[in-house]
Structure 1
Amino acid sequence: MKTTQRLDKILAHSGYGTRSEIKLLVKRHAVTVNGKAIKDSGLQVNPDTDQIEVEGEKVHFQAQTYLMLNKPQGVISATEDSRERTVLDLLEPPFAHMALFPVGRLDKDTEGLLLLTDDGKLAHNLLSPKKHVAKTYYAEVTGLVDESDQAVFAQGVELDDGYVTMPAKLVILVAGDPSLLKNSKIELTIMEGKFHQVKRMFIAVGKKVTFLKRISMGSLKLDEYLAPGEYRELTEDELQQLRGGKENEL
């Protein structure tokens, strides 16, 4: 990290508004550095040693941000979209003003764990195909999911485009009953993230996913107390485990 950074970048990242809004704060002499009012929002400052205050409130600068979001259905995993509501639209200040992005994606109709951050290095490590970071999903599936499906998934499933997935672990929580129109409930752990992969894997064995929720990614598990649309910062322990980069085993 650079020793010094632009003041407006630090304030924007800390949730004090957009750069244009920060310029107005500076113009009103509401921003001080080491006790002196600042006239230039582009001033280079050191957030570790300089005391920055906005309207008398000390700025606590955090270099990077990590949010666990329980993504609801109906929003897309993107930073912006002209037609659809995105996961960033769920955020409130100070996080709404930060340059966060989702690590990977979940389909519009899929719920569950999504990491939002501005840490490009961590995102790359989690998404790199070479890392084989495990992702576990809870799903409800039409019809009976049984041991034959488990065997197919354990070997790897050939998708509609001919791609054969890596071995996946299928756990049957509740066996469905087609005669009663009762869906199966399962957990599936995969080691990659192809487009619509979970849904396509079940299509390959003649079944359909009716509900899908991601419950873990690597060491990070979805907080059961987060309702859809809610989020919180990662704990230091969660972050350290995630940075550890330990690959999950099936």
Structure 2
Amino acid sequence: MSELGLCSRREADEWIEKGWVIVDGVRIDTLGTKVRPEQQIEIDPAARAEQAKLVTILLHKPVGFVSGQAEDGYLPAVTLITPENHWDGDRSGIRFTGMQLRALAPAGRLDIDSTGLLVLTQDGRVARQLIGENSDIDKEYLVRVTYGDQETDIDQTFPPESLAKLRHGLSLDDVPLKPAMVSWQNGEQLRFVLREGKKRQIRRMCELVGLNVVGLKRVRMGRVQLGALPQGQWRYLNAEESF
């Protein structure tokens, strides 16, 4: 069911236990039941109704918050999901309730020193789309850098062959990186578009070519933009939006 994109593994377990899964017209309520590829899987409307209540939240994460569990005294980003921090520009029409915090988890990392778009979701389908093994959703970042003692007009002196390496040719932990789109936005800022998300990937890539990252902001995930969402505030993913 998870592989077909019907739900997350956790949801599949819950639905089976509640008798909401039908295989070839027979309700299945035993976990681990084997299903052949040619068999027809149907989902009870009650499961779809419950799934429709799941929320996905877009947060403009500030520096100083970790994406996931609290660590080293730093608070997790989910603690910012409060009524007070709900952006008044949200046009989703969804009303906040405490139940929306249940099983709300980040779909992808954004390290403590970085800002920008962080997605938190209750929906396993969204998480799979963004961070699943076969995900091909691209993520866009604006990255402010220094080069040696140089803080401006770096684009004029940074070697073209090093820029080419950032685009393709670097390895992290002895694993070659996928091709990336990298270009200068101005004399001190690069634009990165990646289709993978290794830990501190952009910072480590820049170090390998002599650049020091002094600011990193994620501005897009797939077709969803950070836009005008203020730092420290959040909004719901609208019904008409998709990654």
Separation in 1, partners of 2:185, 2:165: 17
**Aligned partners of 1:169, 1:207: CA distance in 2, in Å?**
17
Alignment pair present for 1:153 and 2:166: yes
4+ runs deviating over 3 angstroms = 46-49, 79-82, 93-97
CA positional deviation for 1:151: 1.4
Given the alignment, which residue of 123, 137, 144 partners 1:133? 137
Task: Give a deviation string over 1:172-191, Cα, whole Å, max 9, x none.
Answer: 0112xxxxxxxx21110111
Conservation of the 8 A alpha-carbon contact between 2:166 and 2:206: no
Structure-2 separation of matches of 1:105 and 1:95: 25
Structure whose alpha-carbon radius of gyration is higher: 1
Normalised to the residue count of structure 1, the TM-score between the two structures is 0.64
Q: Is the 8 A contact 1:74 1:109 kept in 2?
A: yes
Q: In the TM superposition, what are the counterparts of 1:4-15 in structure 2 within 5 Å?
A: none
The correspondence for 2:176, drawn from 155, 164, 167, is 164
Displacement of 1:64 in angstroms is 0.6
Does structure 1 residue 109 correspond to structure 2 residue 99?
Answer: no
Distance in 1, matches of 2:97 and 2:225, equals: 21
Q: Which of 197, 201, 224 is residue 220 of structure 1 equivalent to?
A: 224
Amino acid across the alignment from 2:53: A
2:240 maps to 237
CA displacement, residues 110-163 of structure 1 (integer Å, 9 cap, x when unaligned): 00001111011220221124222211110101122443333112223123x322
Q: Quick one: percent identity of the two aligned structures?
A: 30
Matches within 5 A, 1:1-250: 63-80=53-70, 83-93=73-83, 94=96, 96-97=98-99, 98-99=101-102, 100-143=104-147, 144-145=154-155, 146=158, 147-159=160-172, 161-175=173-187, 184-223=188-227, 225-238=228-241, 241-242=242-243
Gaps of 5+ in 1: 6-45, 50-60, 176-183, 243-250
CA distance in 2 between partners of 1:152 and 1:111 (Å): 25
C-alpha change, 1:129 and 1:153, in structure 2 (3 Å) is farther
Q: Which has the higher contact order (CA 8 A, sep 6+)?
A: 2
Compared CA separation, residues 109 and 141, structure 1 to 2 (3 A): same
User: How far apart are 1:199 and its partner, in Å?
Assistant: 0.3
Aligned-residue RMSD, C-alpha: 2.8
Contact in 2 for aligned 1:150/1:169 (Cα 8 Å): no
TM-score computed with the length of structure 2 as normaliser? 0.66
Check the 8 A contact 1:89/1:96 in 2, yes or no.
Answer: no
- Give 1:90 deviation, angstroms: 0.5
Instruction: Give unmatched runs, 5+ long, in structure 2.
Output: 1-10, 19-45, 84-95, 148-153
- SS of the residue aligned with 1:208? strand
Distance 1:234 1:162, change over 3 A: same
Q: Which amino acid aligns with 2:238?
A: T
